Chain A
Amino acid sequence: MTAARIAGLAGPLVLGLVLAFLYLPIVVLALMGFNESVHYELPFRFSTRWYERLPGNERLITATLNSIWLALANTVIATTLGTMAALAFARYRFRGRTLMRLLLFPPITIPWLIIAIAMLVLFFWTGIGRGLHAMLLGHVALSLPYVIIVVGARLASFGVELEEAAASLGARPLQVFFRVSLPMMAPGIVAAALFAFAISFDQFVISYFLAPPGVSTLPVEIYSAIRKGFTPEVNVISTVVIVISMGILLLFARFSRFGGER
């Protein structure tokens, strides 16, 4: 075999290994949801008993609904605010613009654990306290820099010229925004919204710190369930979440090449 052919085979092989490494644990997790044994014992015996028991697990259902509600609210709020901020950064000159832009990046690198502690202290101190509202506040603060950066990158890809052209053709500012700026930003906004949803839906640390007793989100609930021992119902809810979220992502990918030129 020539070197080129070896290289030609090595590429797909490496890629295959990487994908296997990513998906194998998920496949195992999904399979174990269909295993009859509560202790993940082998041999594998197919059963749907854990799926049947899921609706009865009120804690898990409530936590999942909390997570979905939080993620959706966070997506709407963070995407709206972040898009407005990105527009301001890209299209207006104002005092402190450079400094504020610079300050967007550190929160991305500060460990979430530290941010979580800082928020807990601040919320306790200011009387905001703990609860879903506090979690939402935390998630929004955490998602904003990502949204601003993603939408900002999209805005930077087309100049102010398009908006000027629209104005020269007689468009009012709102028409300029809805007919030109918004459609041009759309791929960036969709990508940013997915980011915001994922950041909130995945969020464990901040939710864990800001959740009062009796209130939890899916990641927090899974964590406490796992601590108590084996719970195939966690596998079941995880599988359901994976299937739904992959379905949504595939739908988005089908209808828009987000981030890229349309």
Chain B
Amino acid sequence: MSAVEVNGVTKRYGETAALDGVTLDFADGSFCSLLGPSGSGKTTLLRAIAGFIEPDSGEITIGGVSVENIPVRRRGIGMVFQNYALFPHMTVFDNVAFGLAVRGTPAGEIAGRVRDMLALVRLAGFEERKPRQLSGGQQQRVALARALVTKPKVLLLDEPLGALDRRLREEMQIELRQIQRSVGITTIFVTHDQEEALTLSDRIAIIDQGRVVQVGAPNDVYERPETAFAARFLGDANFMEGVAGGDGMVATTAFGPVRTADPLPNAGAPVMLAVRPEKMRLVKSTEGAESGGDNRIEGTVRQTVFSGNSVTYIVAVGDEVVRVFAQNRGDEVFDVGDAVVILWSARHSVTVKP
């Protein structure tokens, strides 16, 4: 069952469409990321679901009920804002209690539920602190507790980890996912960080220019990008443009003939292939003949980018370059100027729409 459904939602600001016929559904209890560059419309979509923005057309339902003309406060949402938006004049307890207090929940019940919620986010004992006395990670957890205490139908997260440093962000990712699973709440998570989306999500929706480019499980979207944008935005890719060959499986490109497992259009039609750098392998050109691989391209190492546990080789092939990713296993080191052969399997040449 879908907890939230977005059906053909469009929102225009003057000439530009912030949302252009977006259709998405969010399964009950799932964690779904809206991933896109800044200005792609992902935050607009989240705010439309929350009710801060009224769409020009289309329909949004929460728990199977259309929320058109239903104000934010009655949509049954919990939201965590980019800068947490904790009430600075209230204590941690009062911040978390806010959603219950405005509903007129009895004081005794509030105390119990706030206590449970603070225990869940590991902040027991912080009740009387003011938000400014907390670290970024702690403020983040208060914001999460405040959003969850009212038992909302859906949790909306607007780049909540963006303000934290890398290490803390990775810790919070794990914690966020644990809390989300234990509460079992449908979660919509806006981010521009592809790693964050891949790590956390059951499903990822890639958004660009107000449209949903692709939706799917992280693994599917990563391995089978449908467009060049999706391939580029989620991970890294080498693009090879050319025309379909006569046998339907080989494309002629600037790199030479490239084999793919995908069916190609009629011979002579333009095609674009994407190959992930980590799917490629480098060997010395003298060994090239014995090593397997459906595809082999000869080139020269132009540059090596060392990043500790891995090395990225920039290999010149004619006028083009190919990026090849290699784990740093301590063997097979190539130097600038080495003549090499790039090998990869046909099933890793994915056809994408330009």
Contact = CB atoms under 8 A, between A and B. Distances in A.
Contacts of A164: 52, 72, 79, 81, 85
B98 A171 contact: yes
Interface in B54-100: 71-74, 77-79, 81, 83, 85-89, 98-99
Contacts of B74: 170
Nearest to A262: B89
A214 to B, nearest CB: 49
Contact of B87 (A167, A170, A180): A180
A210 B18 CA distance: 56
B102 A168 contact: no
A175 interface: yes
A191 to B, nearest CB: 16
A180 to B, nearest CB: 6
B153 interface: no
Contacts of B88: 158, 184, 261-262
The residue among A165, A175, A183 with the most chain B CB atoms within 10 A of its own CB is: A165
A162 interface: yes
B150 A170 contact: yes
B50 interface: yes
B190 to A, nearest CB: 14
Nearest to B143: A165
Contact of B81 (A158, A165, A179): A165
B349 to A, nearest CB: 46
B67 to A, nearest CB: 13
A41 interface: no
Interface string A164-188: 1111111110010001100110000
Contacts of A262: 88-89
Contacts of B99: 169-171
B146 interface: yes
Interface string B155-196: 010000000000000000000000000000000000000000
B85 A165 contact: yes
Contacts of A167: 71-73
B87 A168 contact: no
B88 to A, nearest CB: 7
B245 to A, nearest CB: 55
The residue among A167, A171, A175, A180 with the most chain B CB atoms within 10 A of its own CB is: A167
Contacts of A166: 87, 98, 102
Contacts of A162: 85, 87
Given A162-B87, A180-B87, A168 B50 contact: yes
B329 interface: no
A38 to B, nearest CB: 55
B92 to A, nearest CB: 15
Contacts of A184: 87-89
B73 A172 contact: yes
Given A164-B52, A164-B72, A169 B98 contact: yes
A162 B86 CA distance: 7
A158 B86 CA distance: 11
Contacts of A179: 98, 102
Nearest to B71: A167
B83 A168 contact: no
A262 B150 CA distance: 28
A161 interface: yes
Contact of A170 (B50, B52, B102): B102
A158 B132 CA distance: 14
Nearest to A166: B98
Contacts of A168: 50, 72-73, 77-79, 147, 156
Nearest to B98: A169
The residue among A166, A168, A172 with the most chain B CB atoms within 10 A of its own CB is: A168
A72 to B, nearest CB: 27
Interface in A108-162: 158-159, 161-162
Nearest to B76: A170
B6 to A, nearest CB: 18
A162 B95 CA distance: 11
A170 B85 CA distance: 15
Given A172-B73, A261-B88, A165 B102 contact: no
Contacts of B87: 162, 165-166, 180, 184
Given A167-B73, A169-B146, A262-B89, A161 B83 contact: yes
A172 B132 CA distance: 26
B79 A172 contact: no
A178 B344 CA distance: 65
A220 B212 CA distance: 72
Contacts of B50: 168
Contacts of A161: 81, 83, 85
Closest 9 CB pairs of A and B: A169-B99, A165-B85, A161-B85, A168-B79, A171-B102, A167-B72, A170-B73, A183-B89, A175-B102
Given A168-B72, A169-B150, 6 more contacts: A164-B72, A164-B79, A167-B72, A167-B73, A168-B78, A169-B146
Interface of A: 158-159, 161-162, 164-172, 175, 179-180, 183-184, 261-262
9 contacts: A158-B88, A161-B85, A164-B72, A164-B85, A165-B81, A168-B50, A168-B73, A171-B102, A262-B88
